[in-house]
Structures are given as C-alpha cells and as structure tokens.
Amino acid sequence: MSDAAPIGLPALEVDLARQLDLIGYTIAGGGGPDWTRPVATSGDPVHDVVIVGGGQSGLAAAFGLKRERVSNILVIDENPAGYEGPWETYARMITLRTPKELNPIDFGVPALTYRAWWEAQHGAAGWAAVDKIARGDWMAYLRWYRRVLDLPVRNDTKLDLIEPLEGGIHRLHLVGGTHLHARKVVLATGIQGGGEWFTPPMVRDALPRHLYAHTSEPVDYAAMQGKRIGILGGGASAFDNANFALTAGVGEAHVFIRRKKLPRINPIRFMERVGFTGRYPALDDAAKYAVMHSFLGHNQPPTNDTFTRAAAWPGFRLHLGAPWLSVTEKDGQAEVVTPDGAFTFDFLVLSTGLVSDPGLRPELRLVADGIARWSDRFTPEEGQGNALIDAHPYLGEGFELLPRGPEHTAALHGLFAFNYAALVSLGLSASALSGLKTALPRLVKGVTDQLFLDDREALVADLLAYDEAEFLGEWPPAERDAA
C-alpha cells in the first residue's frame, strides 16, 4: 500500500480483517474460546478483567487480552465516547511529540498501524509529508481502532472505589451507586492516574479558584480576549498552552521559568534510540533509581516548532531565571512577584506537573496503605535520595501492585498499575507512546499469568483427568479383520 494512491478506510478494514484472520484472530471471536473459568459472587457475574480507562493504553490492553483468549473483560471510562484520554480534553499541543514512525498499539498487525490508517486516506505522499502526528488525527485513529476491533467499552462510567472481597474478587463501586465485580483490575488511567496534578500551595492558598487553573484542566482561553495570563513552568505543556492561548486571542502570555536557560535535553529521544524503553525493566534497582533521578531532573522541552510558533506571537513573553516568590490577589487580579519584579495577570496557568503516590488516589483509599513504595524496597546512598521517586509504587514485572507486608497480599492481588506511576519500576511504558510497544505484552502476560495461576489447581486436575481421544486409528485395520 505504500506505493499506491489512497484506498479508503473500507478497503483497509477488509485488509485488516484478513490479517487478523491470518494470525488466528477474528473480530467476533477474538483469539479463540476463552480458557478462563466463569466466576460469580452473590449471584453476580464476575469479569475476568476490568480495565479502568479507555484511552490508548486501555484500548490496546483490551485487544492484547482478547488475543490471549481472555474476552470476559470490560473497559470503563468516565468521559463520553470519543473523548477518552487527554487528546480532546486538556492536551493543547498541535502535534504529538513522539516520532511518527513509532508503532505503539498495533501488536505487529500492519493494517492496524497509524501509518496504514493515514495512508488509506491520504496515500504514501501524504504520509511522507507528515512531520509529526497531529493531535486530533491521533484521537481520530484511536476512535477508529476502538470501532474496527469492536472493543467492549462503557463510557460515562467513573470508578469511585475498589473494594477487595474474599476469593480474589474486587468490587468496583461506580459513581452513581452501581458496581461491577472483577478478578483483575487494570488501572490504565494515564499520566495523572498514579497520583495527582501538583498545584503549588503559594497559588492554591492565595487565590480564589476562578483566577488559576492547572494545564490538566479545562481553560476557556476564548473568554480571555485581549487579557494577560501568566504561565508557571518550563516544560513542554507551558509552551503548548502559551501558543494555544495566543491563538485563541489572549493578549499576552508570559511564561516564567525558574532556570536561567531553557531545557534543551529530552532523554526520551536517547531512550528510544538505544532500546531503553523496552530493556529498562531488566536493570537492577540501583540503576533504575539513578536513571530516574536523572530523568526527572529534565523538564521535557517543547518541540522546536511549538516554541517557534509561540515565540512568533507579539504577545509572547519569556522570563528566564524567574521563579515565583509570592502570589497574591490584588483588585480582582493575580499579582506575581519574581526576582525581576511584580507582574499582574488576569489569570494564571500552572504547568507544574504531577506527583505519583498511590495514597493520593481516591479509588485506592481502602488499600493504599498496604501498597509497597520505592521507599519500602530500596535505600539510595546518602545524599542521593529523591522524594518523587520514593513515593512511586514498587511494581512487579507485570505492572502488578505489590504488598508492603504479607498481611496486605490478598487485598492487592489482582490490581495492576498501568499508568504513569509505573515510571520508576518499569520505565517509559503505560502513559508514554514511546514505551507502549514493549509494555503492552508485559502487562498482558502479567494479567494472564495471574489468571492462570489462580486457577492452577483446577486446571492441573482437569489435565490429569483429561481422556478425550484425539487419535482414532486402529490396528489391525477393521477391514483386515473382516477379511
């Protein structure tokens, strides 16, 4: 297809069905009959797996499980259909930051790749003209991915609480008073799903809520025509928001960076180049700690095109070496004091990242105290500690949450953190496109291995008792006996 004109999505979908059939997968039947055993509790059916989050990670995890003949699954997402994940909610970059050649969620099926989807509509020349994938196009691809694979997603469904029950079952309490049951729960909850977005107390404690927002929140920039906004932070999202705001008609967007120089190094590019994304889990804890200490010390810089667009606006201002020393409300506006003086803004935007800590997740409030953190399992050399790393959960090889002590084992069994909280234990994986290609098979293996081992006694007993004849030949042949 790479040398041909656009064939259209219907033709691609025919090709996809053929490719899936060639690897033993059908849209209706998945990878074949399920091998897991039906389970019920109090008369209610129990899902083998419930995936929380219907974005790219959750959808791909569902496809991966169905390929392994685990189809008694459900994906739930709190957003309306087609608005899962950040791409049409709070993400404001024009393009993705990752190279277009990455194939993160296709599991090696050529017709399921983004490139195949794009070329079916725009041809090979259209693909060659793409520098980076447009944010809206990526979301359109995810909607198509969900549709053509017929993945079981329930939208407008928000998880409130995970309650461990007897027998390795979890009751999932949903907002609105209903519930689900699952043997395994995969938290595919994205970049914020392992903790919470960070709002500096100097802002939170000083200003009324209508004067500021985190970059992860909805912001009505169109209502700020001609106004001045101040943006705190030097990472990529700060420049994404500055460009987005100025495009929407904001008069001035001031970006304040604590450092005296713009961040220039993006370690993700090195990790992609040398296979760090896939091989990181093989490192020992000391090496992982050192790598992540360095990684977290780098703000992800803006892409060159994003910075160029933002800087070209007459209303763009950049303040280097300008940490916010204090923030106060003054005459209905926000006054920010920096080493360079005081600035008054109509609105503040915080590009201040997030904190990963399972204790911050409301859905984990019954089990959070029993989840092992890095501070429980590894002690760095004196003077090398990093509180951000220490608060991350210490995960098993398949993204499973591990217990602080044996008394917590039963409650945590079956819970998997396939979100940004996996960063320290398993590297760029669950919420980074760069790592999904290798992380997804690891997750699927972790979940299916647990399901198998949970039922091992029954499965082994059935194997030992198995007596279904496959070979039906006889000797001597019946016709010779008759002669």
For 185-225, how does the pLDDT look when each residue is reduced to its tens digit (9 = 90+)?
Answer: 999 999 889 999 999 999 999 999 999 999 999 999 999 99
In angstroms, the first-to-last Cα distance of the chain is 62
Amino acid identity for residue 337 in this structure: V
Give the closest residue to 241 by CA, choosing from 213, 268, 266, 261: 213
- Please state, in angstroms and rounded to a whole number, the distance separating the CA atoms of residues 133 and 103: 12
pLDDT in tens, 322-350: 999 999 999 999 999 999 999 999 999 99
pLDDT of residue 3: 64
Give the closest residue to 436 by CA, choosing from 104, 109, 186, 56: 104
Determine which helix (DSSP H) or strand (DSSP E) holds 374, and give its type and residue range: helix 374-377
CB 417 within 8 A of CB 395: yes
Q: How far is CA 215 from CA 39, 50, 100, 212, 237, in A?
A: 43, 29, 25, 10, 7
Neighbours of 270 (CB within 10 A): 10
- Please state, in angstroms and rounded to a whole number, the distance separating the CA atoms of residues 237 and 312: 17
Please give the DSSP secondary-structure letter assigned to residue 112: G
pLDDT of residue 268: 83
CB under 8 Å to 169, separation ≥6 — which residues?
A: 39, 41, 46, 181, 182, 183
CB 114 within 8 A of CB 148: no
Specify the range with the lowest mean pLDDT, choosing from 4-8, 82-86, 147-151, 322-326.
4-8
Q: What's the whole-model pTM score? A: 0.94
For residues 418-444, average pLDDT: 92
Neighbours of 399 (CB within 10 A): 30
CB under 8 Å to 23, separation ≥6 — which residues?
A: 109
Residue 249 CA to chain centroid, in angstroms? 32
pLDDT band of residue 2 (cuts 50, 70, 90) is very low
For residues 372-377, average pLDDT: 97
pLDDT of residue 196: 92
pLDDT of residue 480: 67
pLDDT band of residue 300 (cuts 50, 70, 90) is confident
For the chain, percent helix, then strand, then coil, each to nearest 5? 40, 20, 40
pLDDT in tens, 92-131: 998 998 889 989 999 999 999 999 999 999 999 999 999 9
Percent of the chain with pLDDT over 90: 82
Residue 200 CA to chain centroid, in angstroms? 24
- Please state, in angstroms and rounded to a whole number, the distance separating the CA atoms of residues 318 and 260: 11
Specify the range with the lowest mean pLDDT, choosing from 2-6, 350-354, 385-389.
2-6
